[in-house]
Amino acid sequence: MTAATDVRTLRRPVRQDPAERRRALYHLASPVSVLTVGSRERLHGTTASTVTLVSREPLLVGVVLRAGSSFARLAAAEGRFAINVLSSGQADVAAHFANSDRPEGSAQFAGLAWTADSYAKAPLLAGALAHYTCRFHSAHAAGDSELLLGHVVRANAGEDHPLFSYAGELFAGSLHPAKEAAAS
């Protein structure tokens, strides 16, 4: 087979019910985070369930947002942002920042305990499992989404259990190591 044949084979349409594909993709578990930016004009936060390590050297994280995200635009303009990895008791915080009807600007942080990061000027939420302070690296269109890359300049972690998104719902609790299969 030639390289051209291989490419044509890969591009052949796959027949599958789109609803079944979407249902299967809901089985990707991911930690829930609130992204924050300290814009000169206003503070802003948004919930994200797709944050992942992209590179160890340099230390880059990737965040998937919807295309045209106002957060991505503000992070690019500001040049820095923060990621608050939520702990198991913060489902209400995740829901708050996912709600498009929440107040704008600093009002969306009313009633929440937070401190401004000294570098990013972005809110670091109290009780979060971890905080990553990032310098904006780049943003890339990816289908109906946008991939935001951040260079981690500072990180810290607390002691708690994570909040996960799985099958369209939020799950909290402790993690237990998988047992190794017995050698045969």
Query: C-alpha dihedral over 113, 164, 150, 155, to 10 degrees?
Result: 60
**Could you tell me which residues come within 8 angstroms of residue 48 by beta carbon, excluding any fewer than 6 positions away?**
32, 33, 34, 35, 63, 64, 65, 83
Query: For position 5, what pLDDT does the model report?
Result: 56
pLDDT of 57 > 70? The answer is yes
Categorize the per-residue pLDDT at 10 as very low, low, confident or very high, splitting at 50, 70 and 90.
low
Tokens representing 28 are: 């990707």
Question: What are the DSSP calls for 126-177, one per residue?
Answer: TT-SEEEEEEEEEEEEETTEEEEEEEEEEEEE-SS-BEEEETTEEEE----P
Query: For position 121, what pLDDT does the model report?
Result: 95
pLDDT of 158 > 50? The answer is yes
Query: For position 20, what pLDDT does the model report?
Result: 81
Question: For 56, what's the count of Cα atoms within 13 Å in the CB-facing half-sphere?
Answer: 0
Other C-beta atoms lying within 10 Å of the C-beta of residue 49: 20
Give the residues across from 180 on adjacent strands. Answer: none
Q: Tokens 């972690």 identify what position?
A: 157
Query: For position 180, what pLDDT does the model report?
Result: 61
Q: Are 122 and 32 in contact (CB under 8 A)?
A: no
Q: Are 139 and 69 in contact (CB under 8 A)?
A: no
64-89 average pLDDT score: 94
